[in-house]
Amino acid sequence: MAEPTLAVVGATGSVGTVMLELLSSRRNVWGEIRLIASARSAGKRLSCRGEQLTVQEITPEAFDGVDVAMFDVPDDVSLEWAPVATAHGATVVDNSAAFRMEPDVPLVVPEVNPSVLKHRPRDIVSNANCTTMAMIMAIAPLHHEYGLRELVLASYQSASGAGQLGVDTLHDQLTKVAGDRLLGSRPGNVRQAVGDDLGPFSAPLALNVVPWSGDLEPLGWSSEELKLRNESRKILGLPALKVSATCVRVPVVTGHSIAVHAVFGSEVDAEGARQVLRNAPGVILVDDPESGEFPMPIDAVGTDPSWVGRIRRAMDDPRALDLFVTGDNRRKGAALNTVQIAELIAAEGLPGR
């Protein structure tokens, strides 16, 4: 059987670039790799698997002969072009939020729920939100051991979660505030130093944390907070799971972190949880407070697993655990999970239906 053809749609973006790096470093299961992006990026040359590939403009014809198409584009672009790709015979693995909660589109994390990949009537598979992804890698094995009942979450989301503009905005703001030791000690002086350079954020991110990420939803929730609830329910197959989340932007370039309070159906203990996580795929346990070893984004950046630590039984509930999780939001949180799903589809024997 001929090796399948893969398309990377959004190949010139920050996550698309990581996808190409992963395709170059992982076991090769692909024949032709086709790079697709908007008209303004067409003609660019990008490296993948030791070759220089030319980016094509996204058109219906660009999907001719494609078996699997990995999409990393805005929601509206996925909504428009994913059906075009499937009409041309491709199975789409989509990293946007466009299809995640559609009942006939599986939401897949290969280490957690690979079996749902078998049923994809629209030939579209969704990738989870990057914050959900980091957290679910640790929570899923604990759920399988103890039976999850409730989650209370606080996220600490990096600037790169808002794309390259978020990263550039943070660096620009840090340049403006560097060296002034009075900043942050008086009302309003950080805002004055930063000026109107807010980029995708609603307030200055340098020397600050912003308790908001996403769009405003009913009852004061943000879209990022609802994603944590809704996607966790779907991935774990727990439609009634109680979830409460607060999402916060922090002045970190890459790496989303989550403080987790998890309530289970049976009594838990910290050492038992550590043993479960030591054996969990896609997880690194970093939990030695006496030695100052904690999971932190500066260590997780550039790596694939979720880093987990600060594990302790809740103060007032023997059925609850508190823990801290961090991971590179552009790798497992986006590019790697998409690549893993695509590889599973390729392993089925194509076409992926």
Token pair for 93? 């693995």
Q: Where in the sequence numbering do the catalytic residues fall?
A: 130, 256
Instruction: Please give the Cα distance from 279 to 264 (Å, whole number).
Output: 19
**DSSP helix/strand/coil, 113:** coil
Query: Cα torsion for 192, 204, 310, 321, to the nearest 10°?
Result: 120
CA distances from 13 to 10, 33, 38, 95, 257 (A): 6, 16, 10, 12, 23
Sheet containing 56-57: give its strands across: 56-57, 33-37, 6-9, 68-71, 91-94, 124-126
How far apart are alpha carbons 60 and 63 in whole angstroms?
A: 6
* Partners of residue 178 on adjacent β-strands: none
In sequence order, what are the beta bridge partners of 263?
150, 320
Per the structure block, which two tokens stand in for 313?
Answer: 């039984």
Mode of pairing for the β-strands spanning 33-37 and 56-57:
parallel
3-state secondary structure of 316: coil
